[in-house]
Amino acid sequence: MYRTTDVATDRWGIKSLAPISDEQFELWQTLIEARTGMTIGAARRSFLETNLAIRMREIGLNDYEAYYEQLMAGPVAEREWAILVDRLTVQETSFFRHPSSFALVRQHISELMLRDPARKGVNLWSVGCSTGEEPYSLAMQTDVQLAELRRAKAYFGVTATDISLPTLGRARTGIYGDRRLHNVPSAWKEKYFKPVAGGRKEWQVTDELKRRVAFVQLNIMELDKAPLAGLDVIFCQNVLIYFRRFRKRDILTNLAVRLAPGGLLVVGLGEATDWAHPWLERVDYPDTMAFRRKS
């Protein structure tokens, strides 16, 4: 059932694909945007083409149309889609990636805990958590902070969601090379990571910290399926970059209503310009874009 149309042979005799046609490009753009919210503009055409070609070569297909059909239905469609989404999403991240946003979360949690000495705990959500650096950073910071506030017995948990299953698998494993940990203070590295045997200079998140973070697959285009509510912090950074304005606004509104009264929504700088919600007020904190739900 594999088609062999549009195939050229390169100088090593390896079959290579013909460039994607305008019509095919539009079909793929529409499919990807409908399912993930991500727009693939003309500037990222070659990114799409390359990733499709690599994947098609891996599974022995050399026809864009045949691959498209394979993703539409049939026994392998779901599995194959999960693999492709992983290839097409940008997973760039790091520990404590945007320090001002973390500083703001820290200030917010202090205020919550100090305002209410009987408060039982804090619930955080990392939306588009990628390979785990962001939710583990939130978990380390909150753990240290609650101890400093002498509220070490208070509960805290981070829900970490992403569309990509393979990415979530890496996040759950929680193994990072030495260089990826350069933003983690050394005392925290000692406390929350253990060296991986084998001398490859890799570190794994301790089971204790892992227990604080629940990784769940969730497409932000399908937030209505998520029973999450009453959150004290929603952290959504560098996820909505490739989304159209109207989608961004819908998603932000859907996140806003999941905050507890007084809860904080932190987004990436410039990711919520000209968006407002009647329940929220803008937080004035340097180098951040954040909103607080009115009490």
In the complex, the residues that contact ligand SAM under the rule CB under 6 A are 36-38, 89-93, 97, 128, 130, 134, 162-164, 167, 219-221, 237-239
Token reading at 93? 């991240």
Smallest distance, Å, CB 254 to ligand SAM?
A: 12
**CA-CA-CA-CA torsion sign (50, 55, 56, 58):** positive
Closest to ligand SAM by CB, 70 vs 89, is: 89
Token reading at 36? 């993930």
**Beta carbons of 243 and 255 less than 8 angstroms apart:** no
Q: Measured between alpha carbons, how far is 57 from 62 in angstroms, rounded to an integer?
A: 7
**Beta carbons of 260 and 234 less than 8 angstroms apart:** no
228, containing H or E segment: none
Token reading at 54? 């690599």
Residues 6 or more apart whose CB falls under 8 angstroms from that of 87 comprise 51, 54, 55
Closest to ligand SAM by CB, 134 vs 232, is: 134
Smallest distance, Å, CB 93 to ligand SAM?
A: 3
Amino acid at 273: T
Smallest distance, Å, CB 88 to ligand SAM?
A: 9
Closest to ligand SAM by CB, 130 vs 145, is: 130
Smallest distance, Å, CB 36 to ligand SAM?
A: 4
Smallest distance, Å, CB 270 to ligand SAM?
A: 13
The per-residue DSSP string of 244-268 comes to -HHHHHHHHHHHHTTEEEEEEEEE-
Smallest distance, Å, CB 24 to ligand SAM?
A: 22
User: How many CB atoms are closer than 10 A to CB 198?
Assistant: 7
Smallest distance, Å, CB 127 to ligand SAM?
A: 7
Closest to ligand SAM by CB, 45 vs 87, is: 87
Closest to ligand SAM by CB, 37 vs 263, is: 37
Q: Which residues of 240-253 are buried (b: 16+ CB within 10 A; e: fewer)?
A: bebbeeebbbbbbe
Closest to ligand SAM by CB, 130 vs 159, is: 130
Closest to ligand SAM by CB, 45 vs 97, is: 97
Token reading at 147? 């101890």
Amino acid at 108: H
